[in-house]
Amino acid sequence: MRFLKSLSVIVLLSSAAHAAEGVGDWQFHAASKPQGFSLDSHQRPADLLLQLDPAGAFVMTVLVKDPRVTVADLRFGSYALHLFNIQSLPQGTLFSAEISNKDLRAFVHGLTSAQEGTLTTDGGAEAQISLAGTSSAVDALNAYAANNDLALPPPFTPNHPAKDELAADMQALTFMKSAHPAAVDEIASCARTSTAHLPRPISPDDMKQAFLACSEPREAFRMLCAEDKPNSACLGAASAVFLGVAAG
């Protein structure tokens, strides 16, 4: 597995550990080279950095601010990411993990659809990771990729989704409308209720809160759908139902 082991990553996270206090929203950062962008957040338990490695794969690098920690895992919603111990530093322990293209959609969905993630370390100790600002950061990355003609794997650059991904979502939605119409109606009803009071156009943060409010019907939809269709397509279909009503 490929990792970002460069000194620049270690310096970035180490300096952030000194500078940041409390919980910081996730931020998108452009770079002089289009592929050098990053998304990061500096929080009390850890500093987190998401960027591309030289081979074009997304890598999550995490500085856990306790040098005694030797193992770590992250969970965002239903997505779990096992982190590999890279280096022990005075400021803490540096971990990293590559996110495969086939898992990227589920990773981004988990990152942007929950309010908090969980960092689990030695002995099952847990710390909460704020996901505030993730939707705005991903939106900024999508705009940056479009403006710089930067080709990224789905689900990025959603204005030009891969045809096979979109087709799979639509097949899952068609299946659910036929086999489980009540599950589709539950998401649609929740979308109407959770967005009825929101000012238009709905801001990304308000949309995220409304999306979270409909987690239960979306999960019920996904479980029924996944009995026949790929899980990633079911997630996409559930989101399509919600957004079709909420943004309408």
Task: Write down the pLDDT at residue 36.
Answer: 85
Is 93 or 56 the better-scoring residue by pLDDT? Answer: 93
Is pLDDT of 73 > 90? yes
Distance between CA 126 and CA 122 in Å, rounded?
9
pTM for this model (two decimals): 0.63
Grade residue 203 by pLDDT with cuts at 50, 70 and 90. Answer: confident
Q: Are strands 92-99 and 58-64 parallel, antiparallel or unpaired?
A: antiparallel
pLDDT in tens, 88-116: 888 899 999 999 888 888 899 889 888 89
Q: Tell me the HSE value of 176 on the side-chain side, using a 13 A CA sphere.
A: 34
- Are 65 and 88 spatial neighbours (Cβ–Cβ below 8 Å)? no
Residue from 229, 144, 123, 149 nearest 183 by CA = 229
Task: Write down the pLDDT at residue 147.
Answer: 82
Task: Write down the pLDDT at residue 34.
Answer: 79
The average pLDDT across 166-190 equals 92
The average pLDDT across 74-96 equals 91
Instruction: Check residue 203 and report its DSSP letter.
Output: P
| Lookup: tokens for 154 | 């789905």
Average pLDDT of the chain?
84
With H, G, I as helix, E, B as strand and everything else as coil, classify residue 107.
helix
Residue from 240, 207, 209, 210 nearest 222 by CA = 240
Task: Write down the pLDDT at residue 164.
Answer: 62
Instruction: Check residue 34 and report its DSSP letter.
Output: G
Grade residue 22 by pLDDT with cuts at 50, 70 and 90. Answer: very low
84: amino acid identity, one letter: F
Residues facing residue 248 across a β-bridge: none
pLDDT in tens, 204-236: 778 888 888 898 999 999 999 999 988 888 988
**Residue 19, Cα to own-chain centre: how many angstroms?**
25
130: amino acid identity, one letter: S
219 contacts: CB under 8 Å, gap ≥ 6? none
Is pLDDT of 70 > 90? yes
Task: Write down the pLDDT at residue 20.
Answer: 45
